[in-house]
Each structure stands twice: as structure tokens, then as C-alpha cells.
Amino acid sequence: MVRKLVGCLGVLLWLTGAEVFAQLPDFTQLVKAQSRAVVNISSVHKASESNHHTPGESLDPGQIPMEEFLKHFFEGQGQLPGPRSGPHGGSKESNSLGSGFIISKEGYILTNHHVIQDADEIIVKLSDRRELIATLVGSDPRTDVALLKVKAHSLPIVEVGAVDELQVGEWVLAIGTPFGFEHSVTAGIVSAKGRSLPGDNYVPFIQTDVAINPGNSGGPLFNLKGQVVGMNSQIVSRSGGYMGLSFAIPIDVVMTIVEQLKNGGQVARGWLGVHIQDVTSDLAESFGMDRPYGAVVAKVIPEGPAASSDLQTGDVIIAFEGKKIELSSELPPLVGVTPVNKVAKIKVVRAGKIKIITVKIGLLPEQPQTAAASTQPPPQVSNRLGLVAVELTPQQRTQLQLSSQGVVVHSVLNDPARTAGIQPGDVILRIQNNVVRNLAAFDKIVRGLPVGKSISILIERQGRRLFLPIKIEK
């Protein structure tokens, strides 16, 4: 009887395992159909002009530069295209490996900007082993997208998919050239959508656990229909290799950039002219909101598009052109794809009430506006916040463009300022809805703050404005 039960259990487990196995996707046909449109890209740089680091490969500042890592990996195997002498035995050149994919039969090819950045020559190797010299049509560093053109016809092309239909947990597949191994295939699932990464405010990245390594950059990310849904761009790594965190640029963002590069070689991106941040639970309480959501306006940039509208510091943007904003990272991509000079409708929460504001979208400038504080004057007395504040000097007011408000934090002594994250050098501009015009006004406001309730403090730190929640316990 026991043997029969054990035997039945074994059969059941085998059937269960077989059913699970049967549900796993088979990528063979997808790879056969789509791999011909994936290319290998070599960008040739003069050794004397570049250190050949490819910044988009990893978010870890301690990563080994790509060529150094590859030299070690291929040492003694003769598979890495190494340095070459110039025509007269002068300066050498080296190859940076990346991936790309063909989007038109006339020879348009997509890859990452960082793959071809500062290249003296771009070589595209097709799946049929042909090597063609590519022309750079244009590139956009902010989204890390580059458009190339080769002289060829009737090329195999990829099919572009719909990112809106892509679901978290869905299977995806990458084809590329990791470590120089051409047409390598790796698969995984979509881990998240709409990820914001440092320095990439205008890209809502697709996060996956697909094994992406140096050389995969610029390659396509496919869904199970064989459609491209993203361009592999970055990894988070401490070692320079795959650690389960890979990021792809959504293909709809890529194709929007492509159209602009085709038409003029440059990208015009919408600009609202504000600094924003996430709404935390404590900030939501201070703003009179029932839960944390939206993007709070920390600063309206002078002479920016929003400065000519009714949008104010402290407004919480909860919708842009009818699209809800849950996280602050969702707003910049929406603004970025909005046509310049379009009048956009913005829904905000102001002092607990809903308002609709219209703003004429401007053109995003090349360089952000920043300002720096100078040496602080002698300190004064501490207060209920646990910090020492002093008046701004005339030089500081000029640098920070603050003619009639603000005091600067000289030192942070204890809580609640320490817990709130306030730092020496921060300029306090507002406390709750009260503008801090000088040290006397600051002291008066602090004396009247309630106990046991979250309040918001608006600071300026290294050219950026930020709301911080703080609570006085006694």
C-alpha cells in the first residue's frame, strides 16, 4: 500500500513538473525569425583622444572600463579586436563593441549613444557577415539613442511592438553581443516599468532580469510576439557584469527620438521649468492630502515656462494632460514628449483643493540652471528645529537669485532637523505656507510651529529645491 502511494505521488510530481515545463516559452522560432535584424557594432576611437569608457553600461562608478574588462576576458584567445597602428605607425585605435538592430530595409539602424560616442569610425557587421561603414544620422545623449545609416537595400528588419501592452511578469528576450560573443540570446521577465534612474529623468525605463552584459548595449528587447519593445541600455552592477538588474529604453520613446533625428538630427524636448520631488506620507499630511501621490513643485524656475503661469511652489501635480501622476518620475517623460509651444492642462492640489492650470510648454535647454552658496557668516543661536540658521549675505542672495527670502543653515545640532535630513549649507525658503524672508521671520515662524504634526520645509541645496518633512515632538 505504501509503495503504491509513493508510486502515485511520484507520478503526480512528474506530471506537475511536466505541466510546468510545458508552460515555459519556446524562443527558438522567435530567434530564427528576428536574429537576422540584429547587428554587431564596432566604434573605432583614436587612443589618444578617449579613454574608451562606455558610461551607459553600468550605474556602478567603480566598474572596470569595457575594453579593459574584455582584454582580461579574452586574454590569449585572439577573439577581441585589439589596438591597431595608424597608417604611419603613429597613434593607435581600439574598438568598442556594442549591438544594434535594423528598423528599415533602406539601412537605418538603432543603437545606444554611448556605444558610438566620439567614434572616428562606426562599423556595422550584419548577420550575413558583411561589414559596412555606418554614417551617424544623429544621437540624443539624454535618452542614449543613436540613429545610424548604412548603404544597403532589402535588409531584414524588426517589428516594433506596443509598450503600453507590455505587462510586468511577461517574458522578454534579448539578442546582442555580450563580451564580443555575437548573436547571444538571453531571456527573462519584465521586473518593472517606468523606472527612473539617476541622470535619466526623461526615460521611463523597462526593468528586466534578462542577463545583459557589456556588449549588449543598443541591442533589442523582444516580447513573445517577436516585436521589439525596448533597447537595452544599462545595468546595475558592482562587478561590471550581470547582477539581475537590467534596463531598456521603451521602444515608443526610441521611435519618437528617431523621427526627430531623421528630420533634423536634433531632438526638441518639452520643458515645464520646475523642480519636482516625490510626495512622502509626511509631506502628504503637511499638504492636506489623504495619501502620498503626485509630484510636488519644489521650485518654479525664473523665466521658465511655468513662471508665466499660475503654477506655484508647493503645488502637487497629480495629472498632466489627463494622465495621472503617482510618482514624480512619471512627469518628466510626459512633458518631454509634449510638443513645444503646446498649452498643456495640469491638475494640481493646492492647500488641499484641486485646481486646473494651463502652461505653455517650452523647449528644454541644454544645460540646467544651478547656483551655489558661498562661505557662511558667523553662527547665531539654535532653535526648536535643532539647527543654527544665519542670514544670507548679499553675495549669496545674488548667486541664488533670492532677493527677498531665505536663511542659511550654519549647522545641524540634533533632532528634529537631523532626522529630517537638513544639512549645513541648506537655504530654508519656506516653512509650511510661510515664506522665510529673514532670520527674524524664521525665528518667529519656528516659535509658532505645532507639536506632533508633520510640517514641510522648503530648502535649496546645490541649485536644487527640495521639500523635507519635519515633526517637533515637544
Query: What is the per-residue DSSP string for 4-34?
Result: HHHHHHHHHHHHHHHHHHHHS---HHHHHHH
Q: Which residues of the chain have pLDDT under 50?
A: 2, 15, 18, 48-90, 92, 368-381
Distance CA 428, CA 430 (A): 6
* Distances in whole angstroms, Cα of residue 3 to Cα of each of 9, 17, 287, 385: 10, 21, 68, 74
Distance CA 412, CA 64 (A): 38
Nearest to 255 by CA among 231, 275, 233, 239: 231
> What is the location of CATH 2.40.10.120 in the chain?
33-262
Which listed CATH number (2.30.42.10, 3.40.50.300, 3.40.720.10, 2.60.120.560) goes with 270-363?
2.30.42.10
- pLDDT for the residue 405: 82
- pLDDT for the residue 10: 55
Consecutive H or E run containing 335: helix 331-336
Distance CA 446, CA 464 (A): 23
The residue written with cell numbers 510618482 in the block is: 327
DSSP-assigned beta bridge partners for residue 326: none
DSSP-assigned beta bridge partners for residue 40: 99, 125
Sign of CA dihedral 175, 176, 179, 182: positive
The CB density around residue 183, as the number of other CB atoms within 10 Å, is 16
Pairing verdict, β 227-235 and 159-160: parallel
Kindly report, residue by residue over 336-352, the tens digit of the pLDDT: 889 889 999 999 999 88
> What is the location of CATH 2.30.42.10 in the chain?
270-363, 387-471
Cell of 347: 491638475
Residues identified as active-site: 114, 144, 217
Write the DSSP assignment of 345-399 as a string of letters. Answer: EEEEEETTEEEEEEEE-EEPPSS--------------B-TTSEEEEEPPHHHHHH
- pLDDT for the residue 400: 77
Cell of 153: 537595400
DSSP-assigned beta bridge partners for residue 247: 207, 234
Nearest to 148 by CA among 184, 182, 117: 117
Cell of 442: 524664521
Write the DSSP assignment of 199-212 as a string of letters. Answer: TEEEEEEEEE-S--
CATH architecture of 33-262: Beta Barrel (2.40)
- pLDDT for the residue 80: 40
How far separated are the first and last CA of the chain, in Å rounded? 72
CATH topology of domain 387-471: Pdz3 Domain (2.30.42)
DSSP secondary structure letter of residue 84: B
